Structures are given as structure tokens and as C-alpha cells.
Chains A and B, each alone.
Chain A
């Protein structure tokens, strides 16, 4: 069974078509790049997977089930902006996550925070942008989810933080889960991807193994992306 499956999935906002008849079958044990320029439908697709939006047509299934209470417990989602109450301390957020998510691994989270020397007594609002993003990533990746959806996880962080984030994603790899990284900053992350999906104007224009693409085209994924989406 697929971890995430879209069958003829469409979504419209009024008369605007955001997703147009998407067919996608995604298995576990993969780190997938969901790649497309702004407005290509990435966030709409994520929101449908999260059950935050309803399809206009077709269906999306998480582990064979329509998004709902049960599937939400299986998806760890890292939004592309700050989403945690900034008056809370890191310590309070750990407890908050542990209360909220049964699959939250406190030990793993504390270990990662310790490795980065992040002071748990600090309030979120006192942390630098890069540290805030790391805390958010640590909270997300410390869940034992079936699907991790990371929306622009490296936008706006320095190269050292980016390396840390990529290593965290790799070290957290499990053959039982699917990691989806949504981004348009491809060059920075392409070596960790094993599959890529290109979204263009609401359609899937390509879904392939990353190394096969490099072999066939003699280009890296970033180069290919620039070609497909040339303005």
C-alpha cells in the first residue's frame, strides 16, 4: 500500500484551478523533493494531505485512508513559517509536543537540542531565526511519523544551519516513513533526495528517481528545474 496516493486529484479556489488531475503514488523509505516555483500548487497539495482542505475532485489517501483524525496523527508537518507561540520556552514546547503527539520521542528531541547547545529555558522569541528554525525542525523530526512534510526547511538559514538540517533529515531516515521536502532551493538539498516531483501550474510534469534523471540528462536536478521552469 502507498503511504500517500493521489488519484485524479483536483483543487479549485473559485474559478482558479490550483491542482489539476494529479496522480501520484508515493512509497515509504523515500526522501522526496516536491519541487516547483511559487504558485505551482505545492502548498495546496500539502494542505490536502493534512486534511486542511477538501479536494474539488478526485481523492487523496494517506496509508489508504481519507485524511482525518487518524491520518493527522501520522503526519509530522513543518510549515514554512514560524508556527509556535513565541512566549513559550523550548522546555514548555517539548511538553506541549509530548502532550499533543503520542509518537513524540522526548529523548530524541532532548538529545538533538543538547547537541546544538540550545538552552531549553529560553523563550522562543529570544532565539535567533536560525535557532528557531532548528527548534521547529527538531520538534517535527522527533515524532515517529509515517510521513514528514517539510515546507521550505532551509529557506533563510546560514550554510552551517543548512548542513545541520540536512544531516538531521538523513540521520532520521527510516525505511518505514516518507519524507517530503517542498522547496524551490534545489541545489542545496538535491543530494539527499532519491525521488523528485516537479509541479508546474498545478500539474505533475515529472516524477522520477533523481540519479536516473542525472544519468539521462547529464544535468543536476537544479539545472533541469531551471530548464523546465524557465521564465
Chain B
């Protein structure tokens, strides 16, 4: 798994985002057990307490759940996973809007361009 960190943003929030991406992309599949905190921390090169904090937050959000003595698993709750996909999609679209507005496009231009692009896709 690849991890990259930006400067000046708390590492635990970046871990949360990146683990969400791993889940959304199916690198962690629904119902899969995820590696132990220490292994994930080693893989990402971060402090184990920071990783623990990120996983606890993902548990609180319902994307992961713990089974006593056997570890942490990715949720199989379809609603949660759809919600995650929706949130990530919203973020990508927002990023796209920001970039396109910077080069002088307005809302109508962007929607038209997206439709045009979709037509060309198979």
C-alpha cells in the first residue's frame, strides 16, 4: 500500500482519508480483516498511537468494526459503503470544479464539458 503525507496537516486525519480511499478502491474489501495497528503503522511509517487514533475514528464512523480478540474488519454495511463512495465522489467533483473555475469556466461550461466528455466514454 502506498501512503503519502502532506505538510502541516495532522497525520491522523490524513491516515483516515487514505484508509477510506483503500476501502473505496476495494484494496480493503467489505468484511476483510485489516492488518494489526503495528503493521499498518510500520507500513505507513507513522507512530502506532497515531494509527490507533485513526482506526478508532473510522470505527466510530462505522467503516470498521472490532471483534474482540480477533481484530478489526471492514464493514459490510452497504449503506455505509455507498455513503463513503458518495462522499469521495463529492470531493473529486469539488476539486474538479475548483480547477476548472481557475481556468475561467463557469458552472454551465463545466456541466457541458462533463456531458461532452461522458458522450465520448465507452
Q: Which residues of A contact B (CB under 8 A)?
A: 29-31, 163, 166-167, 170-171, 173, 191-194, 210-212, 214-215, 217-220, 223
> Complex formed: what's the CA distance from A166 to B44 in Å?
11
A-side contacts of B11, CB under 8 Å: 191, 210-211, 214
| B41 close to A170 (CB less than 8 A) | yes
Asked if B41 contacts A223 (CB within 8 A), the reply is: no
**What sequence of 0s and 1s flags, for each residue 48-88 of chain B, a beta carbon within 8 Å of any chain A beta carbon?**
11100100000000000000000000000000000000000
Instruction: Given A29-B49, A194-B50, verify A170-B7 contact (CB < 8 Å).
Output: no
Query: Chain B contacts of A212 at CB under 8 A?
Result: 10
In the complex, what distance in Å separates the CA atom of A171 from the CA atom of B46? 11
Chain A hits for B28, CB < 8 A: none
Interface assignment of B31: CB less than 8 Å from any CB of chain A? no
Given A191-B45, A218-B9, 15 new contacts (CB under 8 A): A30-B49, A170-B42, A170-B46, A173-B47, A173-B48, A191-B11, A191-B47, A194-B49, A210-B11, A210-B47, A211-B10, A211-B12, A214-B8, A218-B8, A223-B8
A163 to B45 CA separation, bound complex (whole angstroms): 8
Q: Give the residues in chain A near B50, CB-CB below 8 Å.
A: 194, 211
Q: Give Cα distance in the complex from A218 to B9, angstroms.
A: 6
C-alpha spacing A217/B10, complex, angstroms: 10
Q: Is the interface of A mostly helix, strand, loop or mixed?
A: helix
Would you call B7 and A191 a contact (CB within 8 A)? no
| B contact residues around A193 at 8 Å (CB) | 47
* Interface contact B38-A170, CB-CB below 8 Å: yes
Any A CB within 8 A of the CB of B5: yes
**Number of B residues, CB within 8 Å of A:** 18
C-alpha spacing A170/B44, complex, angstroms: 10
The reply to whether B47 and A217 form a contact with Cβ atoms under 8 Å apart is no
Q: Whole-angstrom distance between the alpha carbons of A171 and B38 in the complex?
A: 6
Q: Is the Cβ of A170 less than 8 Å from the Cβ of B45? A: yes
Bound-state CA distance A29–B38 (Å) is 13
- Chain A residues, CB < 8 A from B41: 170, 173
Taking a contact as CB atoms under 8 Å apart, the answer to whether A170 and B8 are in contact is no
Residues of B within 8 A of A170 (CB): 38, 41-42, 45-48
B residues near A171, Cβ cutoff 8 Å:
38, 42
Which residue of chain A has its CB nearest to the CB of B47?
Answer: A194
Closest chain-B Cβ to A88's Cβ sits at a distance in Å of: 30
Q: Give Cα A215 to B7, complex, Å.
A: 10
Query: For residue A29, which residues in chain B have a CB less than 8 angstroms away from its CB?
Result: 49
B10 proximity list for chain A (CB < 8 A):
211-212, 214-215
Q: Are the C-beta atoms of A167 and B42 separated by less than 8 Å?
A: yes
Tell me the minimal C-beta distance from B1 to chain A in angstroms. Answer: 14
5 A-B residue pairs with Cβ-Cβ distance under 8 Å, sorted by A, are: A30-B49, A170-B42, A191-B11, A218-B8, A220-B8
Residues of chain A within 8 A (CB-CB) of B46 are 170, 191-192
- For A194, the chain B residues whose CB sits under 8 A away are 47, 49-50
